C-alpha cells in the first residue's frame, strides 16, 4: 500500500511537470537607426504588442493566463555609447556594477515611484560584460505574472525593493498609440511605457524576449494525474 501511495505521488508530480508548457514572448526591434536609449524602467505585458503572434509556441498564453517569469533578454545597441555612469539620480555606479531587474505591478507616474514589489532577478548583468549588438539576459525564479496585466521591469543595483538605476538597450519609438505595433502601439492607448534615465516618462516599446513557463491549472493537472494513476493501478492488478 505504501509503495502504491509513493508511486501515485511520484506520478502526480511527473504529470504536473510535463503539463507545464514553456515558451517565449518576443517584441522585436524595429531596426530603425537611433532606436536605443538609457532606461530606468520598462513596461511589460504578455498580451501586448503584436500578440498572439508574439507568443511561441502559438497558443501557449491564451489570455488571461498565469505564468512563471523565467528570463528577460534585452539587446545592447550597436554603438560605443554607454549607459550613464556616476553618482546622480538613477545612474549606475560603474561599468562593473552588477545590475538586477526588480519587478513591480504599480507605477506612480507623477512621483516617479514604483510599488507592489513582486521580486527581483536571480542573476545580474554588468555593463562591462555586454557586447555591442549582442543580447544580455536576466534570469528569474518563482515570480508569477498574469498575461493580461501590465508590469514594470526596473533596473537596480540590488535585488531587493527600492533602489532604481539604469541600463541601455534597443527600443522602438515609432508608430501610433492607437495602432498595434512594436513602438508606441505596444500598449495601445497607453502612452506610459517607460521611465527614461533622465526621469522622463517615455512612450517607447522596448525590444525584448521574455521566457516563461505556463502554470498548469490545478484541475487539469489533477485529472491527468488521476487518469495516469488509474492506468498504472489497472496494469498492476
Q: Are 30 and 113 in contact (CB under 8 A)?
A: no
Give the pLDDT confidence score for residue 156 in this predicted structure. Answer: 98
Name which of 43, 69, 166, 118 is nearest 61 in CA terms.
Answer: 69
How much helix, strand and coil, in percent to the nearest 5, is found in the chain?
Answer: 15, 35, 45
Indicate the pLDDT class of residue 88, thresholds 50, 70 and 90.
Answer: confident
The predicted-structure confidence for 97-140, as pLDDT tens digits, reads as follows 999 999 999 999 999 999 999 999 999 999 999 999 999 999 99
Q: Is the pLDDT of residue 204 over 80?
A: yes
Q: What is the pTM of this model?
A: 0.86
Handedness of CA 221, 26, 45, 37 (dihedral sign): positive
CB 166 within 8 A of CB 38: yes
Amino acid at each position: 500500500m505504501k509503495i502504491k501511495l509513493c508511486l501515485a505521488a511520484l506520478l502526480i508530480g511527473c504529470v504536473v511537470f510535463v503539463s507545464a508548457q514553456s515558451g517565449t514572448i518576443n517584441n522585436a526591434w524595429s531596426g530603425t537607426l537611433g532606436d536605443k536609449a538609457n532606461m530606468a524602467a520598462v513596461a511589460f505585458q504578455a498580451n501586448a504588442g503584436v500578440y498572439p503572434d508574439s507568443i511561441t509556441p502559438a497558443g501557449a498564453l491564451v489570455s488571461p493566463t498565469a505564468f512563471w517569469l523565467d528570463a528577460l533578454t534585452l539587446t545592447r545597441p550597436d554603438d560605443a555609447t554607454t549607459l550613464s555612469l556616476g553618482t546622480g539620480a538613477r545612474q549606475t555606479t560603474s561599468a562593473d556594477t552588477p545590475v538586477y531587474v526588480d519587478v513591480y505591478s504599480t507605477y506612480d507616474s507623477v512621483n516617479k515611484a514604483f510599488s507592489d514589489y513582486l521580486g527581483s532577478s536571480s542573476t545580474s548583468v554588468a555593463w562591462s560584460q555586454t557586447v555591442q549588438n549582442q543580447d544580455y539576459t536576466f534570469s528569474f525564479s518563482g515570480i508569477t505574472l498574469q498575461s493580461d496585466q501590465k508590469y514594470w521591469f526596473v533596473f537596480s543595483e540590488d535585488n531587493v525593493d527600492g533602489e532604481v538605476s539604469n541600463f541601455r538597450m534597443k527600443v522602438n519609438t515609432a508608430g501610433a498609440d492607437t495602432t498595434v505595433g512594436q513602438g508606441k502601439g505596444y500598449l495601445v492607448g497607453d502612452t506610459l511605457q517607460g521611465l527614461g534615465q533622465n526621469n522622463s516618462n517615455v512612450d517607447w516599446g522596448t525590444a525584448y524576449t521574455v521566457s516563461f513557463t505556463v502554470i498548469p491549472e490545478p484541475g487539469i493537472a489533477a485529472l491527468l494525474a488521476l487518469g495516469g494513476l488509474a492506468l498504472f493501478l489497472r496494469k498492476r492488478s
